[in-house]
Chain A
Amino acid sequence: MEKTKTTQSRRSFLKSSMLASGGLMISFSGLAKYTLDSEVSELLPAEQWNELTGYIKITPDNLIKILNPNPEFGQNVMTSLPMIAAEELDVDWQKVIVEMAPHDSVKLGPQFTGGSNSVRMYWRPLREAGAAARQMLREAAAQTWGVPVEEVTTKAGMLHHVKSGKSGTYGDFASKAAAIPVPTGVALKDVKSFNVVRTSRKNVEGLKIVTGKPLFSQDYTPDGTLIAMIEHPPAFGKKLKSFDATETLKMPGIKDVFTIKLYPDGFEQAGFDTRTFNDLVVVVGKTTWEVMNARKKLKVVWEQISETKEVIAGFRGKTEVVIPAELETSSTQYQKMAEYASKPSQQLRKDGDPETAFKNAAQILERTYNAPFLAHNCMEPMNFFAHVTDEKALLVGPLQAPGWSEPTLSKLLNLPADKIEIQMTRMGGGFGLRAYGHYMYEAATISKKVKAPIKLVYSREDDMTYGIYRPMYTATYRAALDANKNLIAFHVKGGGIPESPIHANRFPAGAVDNYLAESWAIPSNITIGAFRAPRSNFNAAAEQSFLDELAELMGKDPIDFRLELLKRAKENPVGKNNDYDADRYAGVLKLVKEKSGWNNPENKKYSRGVAAYFCHASYAAHVVDMVNKDGQPYVEQVFSAMDCGVVINPDAAANMVQGAIVDGIGNAFYGALTHKEGTPEQNNFNRYRIIRLREAPKKIEVHFVENDIDPTGLGEPPFPPVFGAVANALYKNTGKRFYNQPFINDLNEKNDRT
């Protein structure tokens, strides 16, 4: 199906929301240059923009606009992705106008934020787009001037022909260039000659953020928009039986109360169509506060579900998932995980003869690690704007993976994809949660039903108790040592509710002759989803704690021990499918060892913990320095070494790593979503503890390995090893190993006893 979309409606969205905020249009005189241009650009008619490739637009007045194709959730792609195109286009970055693109995967590629993929995925397409557009401009100038194209040079948005002394702006030739077919295979710059990429550039939306401009869909409520809220079951394992809205409907501002189905009966869900609760009570009214109040008057009867089966059509074909009826309680969940851990399970990988090696071992170290469900808790609670008519649909909201949700939306609304317009707003956090489209479907279904534009708003409580959590995990690690304390076998067996965390081909697979990885899972009605570095965020905690304890048992320095294993994995790897590059892995360990002054006696005052991990396609190592503050262990400083290939925007990249470390410390110490008979025991920040400023380190030093490898992603890799490094520092600080997250529970227990 032919599918093209313009950015016209995005501009109208911005225009209307800016006007709604009052007076912005005439009061930007003091703003930075790029912002002035970007505000002006909103007012220009579409035909002024000459499109050179799908990503680049230039006006005759030489305004240069680069579209950011990928959803922005704080990873700073609004800045870093356009920088990549600007580099090859050869323009003055300060003059570039950046605009968020609408969903248009035909023109703009996969448009998916997740898996540390944004830069990795768009690195080549955006370089090629910039280079192609520059070539088109050169050709247009060459034709006009009647000179060979090879003799036309560019510099910062200008075209020159030295011999004839002719020159002009990109804008002068934009119209002509736009008519030239987009060339392919244009030579790209040498990465060593970059002058935009690899230099620190400020967030292009920084000024809008600090002045509170309407950037988020929470801020987007065009006149006539109704507010909708959803009452979902209070517990996993429950569903709607009946409701009485008599009192609700009497409340001021309330328009309607009704039920919707997220998916119709028999609907075949796609891989990211999570179904937590299918039958939902909807309250629609004029304002958020009125709807929030009226909801309290609803009389809803819930009943326990019966066991069901769901067919999910995911990336790996159709799978049938069992949804049990049980109302789960955390203590029972842990017991059940312990039971499953002792049963035979699925073998994922086996090298050598681990059974014999363990049988003949002089010493065996065995440790079990546990972690709870985690809620994403994006600062901007879930919401979506929808205006659905019989002919078309407009959806505006925070979404990480519009391309995965659009086919389902098309089926649910019975509208072809080219009648559906999805605008991705800046997200107030995502962390994986917004890769799932259910809240957009809910909004669309509600709008269709009330025949009006609506904004679906989740309260914080709705958001935290809706599921799609980081799963609950456990893993048991075993190591066998011979009489000389050599590591002869390694065994990991892990599982979770409702998925296993185990990555069988990760380090230290490949470094040990006898290796076994096993996996199991327990079905649940508690829904789960991607959470910053899925599975890795648990594995790194468990495995890196275990390696620390193992190194101690073997009488080795924890960094040297890892480096020895990596040397083995490089020189004489065991097995074939090891998914890490031993050199890059060792590289971050060596760098963090140097930068942290690992062997410097002055650092003995700290309880130091180290951990490293590979996930997605990048490498991270952290050294955490702990002290006691107000009677509690406190991470005072962190040294971090990253290898993510070419770093696009160094200061912003450091910001993201610092944030990942703070996030990791917080979740390691405090993060937990527990259940009692299916009901989440935390539903807001009074019970769900999030790390706060006073608990954040004083210093986080971030160092990047310098190389010219194509970018390998940065959002997730720094996060997982934080948990392990914190656990290892806690051991130094307290003399006790920490096996169960969140660590605050065992810390409090220890404090209670002493």
Chain B
Amino acid sequence: MAVINLNVNGKKQAVDVDPATPLLWVLREHLRLVGTKYGCGIGQCGACTIHVNGTAVRSCSLPVSAAQNREITTIEGLSESGEHPVQKAWLEHDVAQCGYCQTGQIMSAAALLRTNSNPTDAQIDTAMSGNICRCGTYLRIRDAIKTAAKQK
């Protein structure tokens, strides 16, 4: 166990955990930020996507020790009230079916738009293909990203 200093959604806090614990479980179980989801544990499905210094990262595969003193943003920090353009676009297109993967999808999309305000179809395909949606909402995800890009 070790004390790890984290900066999550602009709030500095310390947790006392095994430094090898994936950030996902620290977020979910220690900080109770449950919007970040467990889907596979091996960085294959994207349900646990968060931002580390603005870049999309699979939190299930990032040891909490490696997240120390870096700027971590979870879905709760993107906008707790759903005001982020990506969240608004998701609502406009009524993307979700079961909804479980969508916070990860939104975090991947927000990271893409942060560095590329007008992505091509191919760029969207590349950026978003690490996020699985078993309900098959991919077409609406594409449309929502394009809507969000226009709003930015």
Q: Is A379 an interface residue (CB 8 A)?
A: yes
| Contacting residue for A212 out of B103, B125, B142, CB 8 A | B103
The answer to whether A686 and B102 touch across the interface, beta carbons within 8 angstroms, is no
Q: Mark B101-138, 1 if CB is under 8 A from A, else 0.
A: 11100100000000000000100111011111111111
**Bound-complex Cα distance A252 to B83 (A):** 41
Q: Is A311 an interface residue (CB 8 A)?
A: no
Q: Is B59 an interface residue (CB 8 A)?
A: no
Q: Which residue of A lies closest to B128 (CB)?
A: A693
Chain A nearest CB from B34 CB (Å) reads 4
- How many residues on chain B are close to A (CB under 8 Å)? 63
Q: Which residue of A lies closest to B24 (CB)?
A: A289
| A residues in contact with B44, CB < 8 Å | 684-686
Please report whether the interface of chain B is mostly helix, strand, loop or mixed according to DSSP.
loop
The answer to whether B94 and A206 touch across the interface, beta carbons within 8 angstroms, is yes
| A residues in contact with B51, CB < 8 Å | none
Residue from B1, B82, B91 whose CB has the most chain A CB atoms within 10 Å: B82
The answer to whether A29 and B81 touch across the interface, beta carbons within 8 angstroms, is yes
The answer to whether B29 and A221 touch across the interface, beta carbons within 8 angstroms, is yes
In the complex, which residues 75-97 of chain A have their Cβ closer than 8 Å to any Cβ of chain B?
75-76
| B residues in contact with A660, CB < 8 Å | 136
Chain A nearest CB from B113 CB (Å) reads 15
| Contacting residue for A690 out of B22, B83, B134, CB 8 A | B134
The answer to whether A209 and B135 touch across the interface, beta carbons within 8 angstroms, is no
Q: Is B41 an interface residue (CB 8 A)?
A: yes
In the complex, which residues 3-25 of chain B have their Cβ closer than 8 Å to any Cβ of chain A?
18, 21-22, 25
| A residues in contact with B94, CB < 8 Å | 202-203, 206, 651-652, 655
Chain B nearest CB from A434 CB (Å) reads 11
Q: Knowing A22-B32, A207-B91, A693-B129 touch, does A460 contact B41 (C-beta < 8 A)?
A: yes
Chain A nearest CB from B30 CB (Å) reads 8
Chain A nearest CB from B16 CB (Å) reads 11
Q: Knowing A21-B32, A28-B81, A209-B99 touch, does A459 contact B135 (C-beta < 8 A)?
A: no
The answer to whether A694 and B99 touch across the interface, beta carbons within 8 angstroms, is no
Q: Is B67 an interface residue (CB 8 A)?
A: no
Chain B nearest CB from A212 CB (Å) reads 2
| A residues in contact with B76, CB < 8 Å | 21-22, 211-212
Q: Is A705 an interface residue (CB 8 A)?
A: no
**Bound-complex Cα distance A660 to B74 (A):** 30
| A residues in contact with B30, CB < 8 Å | 287
The answer to whether A206 and B136 touch across the interface, beta carbons within 8 angstroms, is no
Q: Is A521 an interface residue (CB 8 A)?
A: no
Q: Is B56 an interface residue (CB 8 A)?
A: no
Q: Which residue of A lies closest to B96 (CB)?
A: A209
**Bound-complex Cα distance A660 to B21 (A):** 37
| B residues in contact with A202, CB < 8 Å | 91, 94
Chain B nearest CB from A551 CB (Å) reads 29
The answer to whether A381 and B82 touch across the interface, beta carbons within 8 angstroms, is no
Q: Is A412 an interface residue (CB 8 A)?
A: no
| A residues in contact with B33, CB < 8 Å | 21-22, 212
| B residues in contact with A209, CB < 8 Å | 90, 96, 99, 102-103
The answer to whether A379 and B101 touch across the interface, beta carbons within 8 angstroms, is yes
Q: Mark B28-65, 1 if CB is under 8 A from A, else 0.
A: 11101111111111101101000000000000000000
| B residues in contact with A214, CB < 8 Å | 34
| B residues in contact with A27, CB < 8 Å | 80-81
Q: Mark A188-213, 1 if CB is under 8 A from B, else 0.
A: 00000000000000110111011111
| Contacting residue for A429 out of B124, B126, B134, CB 8 A | B134
The answer to whether A379 and B91 touch across the interface, beta carbons within 8 angstroms, is no
The answer to whether B25 and A31 touch across the interface, beta carbons within 8 angstroms, is no
| Contacting residue for A379 out of B39, B75, B130, B138, CB 8 A | B39
Residue from B32, B33, B133, B136 whose CB has the most chain A CB atoms within 10 Å: B136
**Bound-complex Cα distance A682 to B130 (A):** 18
| A residues in contact with B126, CB < 8 Å | 694
In the complex, which residues 414-451 of chain A have their Cβ closer than 8 Å to any Cβ of chain B?
426-431
| B residues in contact with A24, CB < 8 Å | 80
- How many residues on chain A are close to B (CB under 8 Å)? 74
The answer to whether A460 and B103 touch across the interface, beta carbons within 8 angstroms, is no
**Bound-complex Cα distance A24 to B75 (A):** 13
Residue from B30, B37, B97, B140 whose CB has the most chain A CB atoms within 10 Å: B97
| Contacting residue for A427 out of B90, B98, B102, CB 8 A | B98
Chain B nearest CB from A656 CB (Å) reads 7
**Bound-complex Cα distance A697 to B121 (A):** 12
**Bound-complex Cα distance A690 to B135 (A):** 11
The answer to whether B81 and A74 touch across the interface, beta carbons within 8 angstroms, is no
The answer to whether A379 and B100 touch across the interface, beta carbons within 8 angstroms, is yes
Q: Is A699 an interface residue (CB 8 A)?
A: yes
The answer to whether B75 and A212 touch across the interface, beta carbons within 8 angstroms, is yes
Q: Is A394 an interface residue (CB 8 A)?
A: no
Q: Which residue of A lies closest to B36 (CB)?
A: A212
Q: Mark A689-712, 1 if CB is under 8 A from B, else 0.
A: 011111011111000000000000
**Bound-complex Cα distance A754 to B40 (A):** 36
| Contacting residue for B21 out of A28, A73, A289, CB 8 A | A289
| B residues in contact with A53, CB < 8 Å | none
| B residues in contact with A210, CB < 8 Å | 75, 82, 87, 90-91, 96, 102-103, 106
The answer to whether A211 and B82 touch across the interface, beta carbons within 8 angstroms, is yes
The answer to whether B41 and A206 touch across the interface, beta carbons within 8 angstroms, is no
Q: Is A662 an interface residue (CB 8 A)?
A: yes
| Contacting residue for A216 out of B82, B96, B100, B131, CB 8 A | B100
Q: Is A659 an interface residue (CB 8 A)?
A: yes
Q: Which residue of B lies closest to A656 (CB)?
A: B97
| Contacting residue for A252 out of B18, B99, B121, CB 8 A | B18
**Bound-complex Cα distance A30 to B79 (A):** 11
The answer to whether A380 and B102 touch across the interface, beta carbons within 8 angstroms, is no
| B residues in contact with A212, CB < 8 Å | 33-36, 74-76, 103
**Bound-complex Cα distance A694 to B125 (A):** 5
**Bound-complex Cα distance A693 to B34 (A):** 25
**Bound-complex Cα distance A692 to B44 (A):** 11
Q: Is B141 an interface residue (CB 8 A)?
A: yes
Q: Which residues of A contact B (CB under 8 A)?
A: 20-24, 27-31, 73-76, 202-203, 205-207, 209-216, 218-219, 221, 252, 287-290, 292-293, 377-381, 426-431, 459-460, 651-652, 655-656, 658-663, 666, 684-686, 690-694, 696-700
Please list the 6 inter-chain residue pairs (A to B) with the smallest Cβ-Cβ separation, ordered nearest first: A212-B35, A662-B136, A428-B100, A74-B98, A212-B75, A659-B136
In addition to A203-B94, A212-B76, 6 A-B residue pairs with Cβ atoms within 8 Å of each other are A212-B75, A214-B34, A289-B21, A379-B134, A428-B99, A700-B139
**A and B contact pairs by CB, cutoff 8 A, 21 listed:** A30-B82, A74-B135, A207-B91, A210-B103, A211-B81, A211-B87, A213-B35, A216-B37, A288-B29, A290-B18, A377-B134, A379-B133, A381-B38, A460-B40, A655-B97, A658-B137, A685-B40, A685-B45, A692-B129, A692-B138, A694-B128
